[in-house]
Amino acid sequence: MSKGVVYLVGAGPGDPKLITIRGLEAIQRADVVVYDRLASPRLLKHMKPGAEKIFVGKLPDKHMMKQGEINQLLVDLAMQGKTVTRLKGGDPSVFGRVGEEAELLADNGIMFEIVPGITSAIAVPTYAGIPVTHRDFTSSFSIVTGHEYPNKTYSSLNWENLSQASGTLIFLMGVANLEFICSQLVQGGKSPATPVALIRWGTWMDQKTITGTLTDIVEKVRSANFQSPAVIIVGEVVKLRDKLAWFEKKPLFGRRILVTRARSQASELVQQIEELGGEAVEFPVIRTQAPTKPEAQQKLDEALSRLSVFDWILFTSVNGVEYFFQRLQSNRIDVRTMSKARIAAVGPKTSEALAQRGLIAEELPSQFQGDVLLAAFAEELKPGQQVLLPTADIAKEYIPAELRQMGLNVTEVDVYETVLDTSGGSEIIELLQENTIHTITFTSSSTVTNLITALEQLGADKPLELIQQCKIACIGPMTAKTVEESGLKVDYLAKEATVSSLVQSLYCE
């Protein structure tokens, strides 16, 4: 058996978007990912199907695996012919012990590659509004380990030189030794009034920052029960924090938001949440697919075969548009057969999806609920007209019922169906039980009912109680009604049925 290859990858400081392109490629091609606690677990969603993940994280007071065991694990996996990605927080060469791992791989004739990452020593202060250099304060910085290898002592550091250096001092892994560090710097000649900052979980949603001086920072940290992992910054650049603290000023900073939308449609919502400083956790409780029931397929194909008779085709969702045209293509039906029909759309995204296919929908009202849309076209909807309504298998009955009451002939067809999806649900239950999800977003009634059902199927005893701990945001009144009928309370309601409006409702009163 030929030997595999090992990628020793720096995952960056925590924010998953700060990984390098090469590092992401290594995750995507790996048969096994060996990762620690400072590498964002959200990066693991980029692993290929069937790849194995092994957690070897280290805590300040205990190790899942000793460093020597990790070194040997990488060798053993590579000897099995596997492509291995060792995912390490920050940059692997900055106190990441990558040299020890690489040495053993080299000794065993295993090909490896070291992929640099953005070190927390620079990135974490930046996210706290503290640039490590500034022309008005300093043009240099030093990175120092906060604790050293057991057979070394702090006497190996020249504290007098460090104390008298004019540059910024950055200590990694030093929270437990903060009092010693501060006392050594003062004894070495550093002014007791020198500004100090500690940043915990920098670049993460949980980022916390404490500032003080060499004189009072120890007591401040102790009073706040400020724990590792944290970066310590000593120097005049700390004074810039109040002015430059950009990350913590984002409107959704510090909020973990559950996105229940189908994965194929969740990207826009996830992106907007993260752009505003929140952390989006995806749990797509619904998955859409083409109809699988023979009777639904037959009814849809019959309707498509007589497109020329319809006076109106009313699309109520982007999914409806996409699956409608997929079926047209698979049945080799010319779109020109629907030339008689006037096209109407519920919501701007639905209208946009039609425009991408060369169809301009009828003018939309300022609100996008179905009842408002029907009212807007009431004068043009005539008794006896033929209406095609391509919807989902769980579509609400309001629109077709109103159309029939007005005397129109309505043909409803299921162009897609929704399926419950519980993959990744165990991790979501843990987050809910730990009360670390702040808000849940619902973009349709099916996401509400499917989340409750998914939690039940995954073994949650009282799913409603888990959900009730969170704020709830809904994209429209129909979704909000389903939430309330389920016994839950709506905290945020979008003014318009759009993702942007939904996100805006989370931080605008």
pLDDT, one tens digit per residue, over 160-169 is 888 988 899 9
Q: Given this model, what pLDDT does residue 60 score?
A: 53
Q: Given 36, 91, 414, 421, which residue is catalytic?
A: 36
Domain 5-117 has CATH 3.40.50.10780: no
Domain 290-418 has CATH 3.40.50.10090: yes
Interaxial angle between packed helices 318-330 and 294-305, expressed in degrees from 0 to 180 and rounded to the nearest 10: 80
Q: Rg for the chain (alpha carbons), in Å?
A: 29
Q: What residue ranges of the chain are covered by domains with CATH 3.30.950.10? A: 122-249
pLDDT, one tens digit per residue, over 236-283 is 999 999 999 999 999 999 999 999 987 767 788 999 999 999 999 999
Respond yes or no: is residue 340 known to be catalytic. no
Q: What residue ranges of the chain are covered by domains with CATH 3.40.1010.10? A: 5-117
Mean pLDDT on 190-196: 97
SS3 string, 99-167, reads: HHHHHHHHHCCCEEEEECCCCHHHHHHHHCCCCCCECCCECCEEEEECCCCCCCCHHHCCHHHHHHCCC
Query: 122-249 falls under which CATH superfamily?
Result: Tetrapyrrole methylase, C-terminal domain (3.30.950.10)
Q: Report d(CA 447, CA 72) in Å as an integer.
A: 45
Structure tokens at 413: 């067809």
Check pLDDT > 60 for residue 364: no
pLDDT, one tens digit per residue, over 426-457 is 889 999 999 999 999 999 888 999 999 999 99
CB-hemisphere CA count at 13 Å for 261?
22
Q: Given 47, 82, 88, 173, which residue is catalytic?
A: 173
Check pLDDT > 90 for residue 156: no
Q: Given this model, what pLDDT does residue 372 score?
A: 59
Q: Report d(CA 174, CA 368) in Å as an integer.
A: 55
Q: Given this model, what pLDDT does residue 299 score?
A: 94
* Highest mean predicted confidence (pLDDT) among 143-147, 293-297, 371-375: 293-297
Q: Given this model, what pLDDT does residue 210 score?
A: 97
Q: Given this model, what pLDDT does residue 149 score?
A: 45
Q: Report d(CA 201, CA 210) in Å as an integer.
A: 12
Residue 218, exposed/middle/buried by CB under 10 A (0-12, 13-18, 19+)?
A: middle
Residues in a beta bridge with 211: 197
Q: Given 3, 31, 53, 58, which residue is catalytic?
A: 58
Respond yes or no: is residue 173 known to be catalytic. yes
Q: Report d(CA 509, CA 492) in Å as an integer.
A: 9
Q: What residue ranges of the chain are covered by domains with CATH 3.40.50.10090? A: 256-285+421-505, 290-418
Which residue type does 86 have?
A: R
Q: Given this model, what pLDDT does residue 318 score?
A: 87
Check pLDDT > 80 for residue 150: no
pLDDT, one tens digit per residue, over 314-334 is 998 888 999 999 999 999 999
Q: Given this model, what pLDDT does residue 265 score?
A: 73
Rounded (to 5) percent helix, strand, coil in the chain = 40, 20, 40
DSSP 203-263: TSTT-EEEEEETTTHHHHHHHTT--SSEEEEESGGGGGHHHH--GGGSTTTT-EEEE-S-H
pLDDT, one tens digit per residue, over 383-409 is 999 999 998 755 566 778 888 888 999
What is the residue whose two structure tokens read 């419950």?
420
What is the DSSP code (8-state) at residue 495? S
Check pLDDT > 50 for residue 203: yes
Q: Given this model, what pLDDT does residue 363 score?
A: 63
Which residue type does 94 have?
A: V
Collect all residues with Cβ–Cβ distance below 8 Å to 315 and sequence separation of at least 6.
Answer: 321, 324, 343, 344, 345, 346, 350, 353, 354, 361, 390
pLDDT, one tens digit per residue, over 27-67 is 999 999 999 888 888 899 899 999 999 999 765 555 568 89
Which residue type does 18 have?
A: L
- Write down the architecture of domain 256-285+421-505 according to CATH: 3-Layer(aba) Sandwich (3.40)
Collect all residues with Cβ–Cβ distance below 8 Å to 350 and sequence separation of at least 6.
Answer: 315, 316, 317, 318, 320, 321, 361
Q: Given this model, what pLDDT does residue 186 score?
A: 96
Where does the pLDDT of residue 417 fall: very low under 50, low under 70, confident under 90, or very high at 90 and above? confident
Q: Given this model, what pLDDT does residue 446 score?
A: 86
Mean pLDDT on 58-81: 83
